[in-house]
Structure 1
Amino acid sequence: MTTAESAARAVPGRPGATRRRTPGRVRPLAYAALVASAVITGLSIAWLADPALSPFVSPVTPSLATLLLDPTAAALLALAAGAAGVALAALLARARAARPRSVAAGVAAGGVAITFSFLFGSMSSISLTGYLFGAAAVIAGLVTIGVTVVRAPRLGASLLAGLILLVATAVLWAGLNIDGVVAFAVTVGGALVAGLPGFAIVALGLISALVWAALAIMTLRSAGSGRLASWMVRHRKTITILAALGPLPYVVARASWVTPWPLFAPSTVHHDPAMLVTGLVIGAGATAASLLTLGLILPWGRVFPEWMPRIGGRPVPVGVAAVPGFIAAGILCIAAVPMLLTTVGRTDAPIDALLVNLVLPFWFWGPMLGLAVAAYVEWRALDREP
């Protein structure tokens, strides 16, 4: 390796440190992108042959494509994007490209990701993600409290006391009851089952967009100089704190639902236990998102806490934090565009549009979370280098 090549791979700010080559990591992503694009290509042909099957005719979760294009045009765009994705993914999977070619391929991969986002991304998709993640956060929180009560009693007692206070407040002030929990589970579960075929298509499109976005980033990264990576590592704490602030306005709004002064809530929230449960579950997910984001710069984001059974004290695999973090950032970024277009365009209620985008700042939260996760990956990569 020449001196120039060594310098290009060096991490600025850390003399002698070299960056690992990335094409080996690009290839699995290329194969995944190839499969996803091939599936969408085949489905697009079916949608054109039988429009009744098309998700663009009666969409479960309307996307920008369904708002701006007729179903046939949307299906043709999906076919073109899928076919282009198959060709580009095959090219990237075959061999390592030279730097100029990698830049072009990275830009093209980004274009495919944006096209799939346009076709399948919507605000409804992030609502579905919020419900599922919120429910998972509640279950994980209860398990965490149970484990810490046994293995870390001081921490467990504090968490248990906080949970009891929250539940007591919700029951006594806001009218939470078991019927509301059951009604929430039945309503959400029924909606998921009823819309499963449509949700499956949306999920396929979003996964394809995320895979292509990851492929674009990795391809461009392999051709980059590392200056952006160095900047992210230097400022990772500030970036991560800003990203952790993203869900907090929503947390504050939902927390107010258990008080006599609920913010951004239906007027019937204190008379509808199911609505209250909905707010608390999604608020729990937003709280968990903020805490997990802070984990990117806290010690337990590098080493599992000692109280965790079996894995306590072991290093956290980078992928455990990076993969879900990048997925979340991608979904937020995909939802940000339709959110802005559908709210800012409401000239009849500009204040409401502003408040919605401040309480749900996808336009800020998504990009900042993506930068925070990328900074975490680069920071952890330094630990693995000699």
Structure 2
Amino acid sequence: MTTARTETTTAPRTTPTTRTTRILSAAALGTSAATTALLGLLLARPEVNPFLEGATTLGRNFLSGPVLTWVLLAVGLVGVAGAAVALARPTDGRTGRGTGRLVTTVAGVQVLGLGILAQSMSTLSVSGYLVALAVPVLTVWAAVQVFRTRPAWRIPIAVAGVLAVVGIVVARDAFAIQLGGVMSGFVRERWELLAVLLPLATAIVWAGLAAVGAWRRGSLRHATAWVTRHRKTFTVIAALGPLPYALARLTWLTPWPQFGGEGVPLAVKIQGLSLSSGAWLGIILTLGLILPWGERFPRWFPRRAGQPVPPAAAIVPGGAVAVMLCGAAIPLLLEFGVTAALIFPAWFWGPALALAVWGYAGHRAGVH
């Protein structure tokens, strides 16, 4: 009796980490190419090149504007080449062999060049204004959801909504001036904003790609376990980062305003208070890394109430802010010195937030 033997070929299993690596590699190629194109344009059009002007960019403390632009262009080209190789020769999901060392090296170059040397005060300014503009939208959206699902909160929310509308109507001219000033500032400084935000995005993607590769190779296992055990401490420290700035802006509502709040127009006070709201949002979201709603959507959240929060929903924005703060910390200190160190302490806020996000990622991954 002959037994037929059927051989089956099993295709290599694509793990979630492998898929993430491919996505990040493609994103690294796209952002590196966009950054390289932008830097080439800035070299061709010196009149719009922000690296030729102010010294708030960290790299301008060491290099002239043209030299810095050429250096950053070379860094961008290295990123394009590295991402192309990573896509063409992906790291094996089971053995960890492939371009891991290359990716780590290129990522270090990208973070140093684009995430640190190219950053300036503009990084924090534009991010702060964008968050401040988002706060009212998020507040209204959350209030509507809570009003819809939590009857006990309906009267307080309705009263707060009426008071907010009355305040906007009474001070509508000041609100219009404030919003118009922010929008016109974005348009006026568009090249400077692009020159810091696009390189920052590239550095963030490369940092994520290197972190995922190190995780897959197991080289971060012991460090992640240690950070995860202390994640609550790191998170509380990170949440203290925006607190001095948030409190300083709130003093504009008192007879003892601090840091330029005395005698300023109402529109400027509204702008300062909106920036304070962004800082308070940062505190709340940071604490979410260790609170229950940071792992499961609250009951009032539409469609996904009670479901697990995708880890990337916290890791990606949290990690991006951490890289931004670390990149802007030195320019901030050089520009404003001790004042910046006390009121906007990015020098400890950024690293603490990075550790808090790292600990959250380890916790969600089950590392102990």
Rounded to whole Å, the distance in 1 between the matches of 2:329 and 2:183 is 26
CA RMSD across the alignment: 3.0
Q: How far is 1:102 from its partner? A: 2.9
Partner of 2:27, secondary structure, is helix
Change over 3 Å in CA distance of 1:240–1:144 after alignment to 2: same
Structure 1's 235 and 157: CA in aligned 2 closer, same or farther, altered over 3 A?
farther
CA contact (8 A) 2:25 2:209 kept: yes
Aligned residue for 1:301? 294
Output the CA distance in 1 between the equivalents of 2:17 and 2:121: 33
Match of 2:329 in 1: 336
Match of 1:319 among 300, 305, 312: 312
1:186 corresponds in structure 2 to: 180
Counterpart residue number, 1:57: 52
Measure, in 2, the Cα distance between the counterparts of 1:33 and 1:243: 28
Q: Is the 8 A contact 1:325 1:369 kept in 2?
A: yes
**Which residue of 356, 361, 366 corresponds with 1:377?**
361
Residue identity (%) = 36
Contact persistence 2:56–2:331 (CA under 8 A):
no
* The one of 225, 229, 232 aligned to 1:230: 225
Distance 1:195 1:244 in 2: 30
Distance (Å, rounded) in 1 between the aligned partners of 2:157 and 2:254: 20
Q: 1:123 Cα deviation (Å)?
A: 1.2
Residue 336 of structure 1 aligns with an amino acid whose one-letter code is: A
Confirm or deny that 1:209 pairs with 2:193.
Answer: no
CA distance in 1, matches of 2:302, 2:220: 41
Letter in structure 2 aligned against 1:375: G
**CA shift for structure 1 position 382:** 1.9
2:71 matches 1:77: yes
Question: Tell me, which stretches of 5 or more residues in structure 1 are unaligned?
Answer: 1-19, 345-352
User: CA 1:243–1:118 in 2, change beyond 3 Å: closer, same or farther?
Assistant: closer
Farther off after superposition, 227-236 or 212-221: 212-221
| CA shift for structure 1 position 331 | 1.2
Residue 358 and residue 154 in structure 1: after superposition, are their counterparts in 2 closer, same or farther (change >3 A)? farther
Distance in 2 separating the partners of 1:161 and 1:339: 41
Displacement of 1:130 in angstroms is 0.3
2:25 aligned with 1:41, yes or no? Answer: no
The equivalent position to 2:140 in structure 1, one of 139, 142, 145, is: 142
Among 362, 378, 383, the alignment partner of 2:346 is 362
Instruction: State the partner residue of 1:250.
Output: 245
User: Structure 1 residues 177 and 225 mapped into 2: Cα distance closer, same or farther (>3 Å)?
Assistant: closer
Q: Quick one: which of 256, 267, 287 aligns to 1:261?
A: 256
For 1:153, the equivalent position in structure 2 comes to 151
| Aligned residue runs from structure 1 range 338-353, under 5 A | 338-344=331-337, 353=338
Quote how far apart the aligned CAs of 1:136 are: 0.5
Q: Is the 8 A contact 1:145 1:156 kept in 2?
A: no
Q: Which letter maps to 1:319?
A: A
**Conserved 8 A contact 1:103-1:219:** no
Q: Following TM superposition, by how much is the alpha carbon of 1:160 offset from its aligned partner in structure 2, in angstroms? A: 6.4
- In structure 2, relative to structure 1, the CA distance for the partners of 1:127 and 1:149 (3 Å cut) is same
165 and 329 in structure 1: CA distance in 2 versus 1, 3 angstrom threshold: farther
In 2: Cα distance, 1:156 partner to 1:333 partner: 41
2:276 alignment partner AA: G
Q: Of residues 109, 121, 124 in structure 2, which corresponds to 1:123? A: 121
TM (norm. structure 2) is: 0.84
CA distance in 2, matches of 1:318, 1:289: 18
Q: TM-score, normalised by structure 1?
A: 0.80
For residue 81 of structure 2, what is the aligned residue in structure 1?
87
Is the contact between residue 128 and residue 275 of structure 2 (CA under 8 Å) also seen in structure 1?
yes
Match of 2:272 in 1: 279
Name the CA distance, whole Å, in 2 between partners of 1:155 and 1:145: 9
Would you say the 8 A contact 1:145–1:160 is kept in 2? no
Change in 2 beyond 3 A, CA 1:164/1:185:
same
Unpaired runs of 5+ residues, structure 2, are 1-14
Amino acid at match of 2:330: V
- Cα deviation for residue 49 of structure 1 reads 4.4
In the other structure, the counterpart of 2:8 is none
Deviations 1:326-379 (A, max 9, x none): 1111111111121122233xxxxxxxx2x3312101111111111111211121
Label 1:156 to 1:209 Cα distance change in 2 as closer, same or farther (>3 A): farther
Does the CA contact (< 8 Å) of 2:32 and 2:79 recur in 1?
yes
* Secondary structure of the structure 1 residue equivalent to 2:347: helix
Aligned counterparts of 1:274 and 1:65: Cα–Cα separation in 2 = 34
**Would you say how many aligned residue pairs link Structure 1 and Structure 2?**
348
Q: Which residue of 2 is the match for residue 3 of structure 1?
A: none
1:187 match: secondary structure: helix
Instruction: Report if the CA contact (8 A) 2:132-2:274 is conserved.
Output: yes
Shifted more, 361-370 versus 107-116: the winner is: 107-116
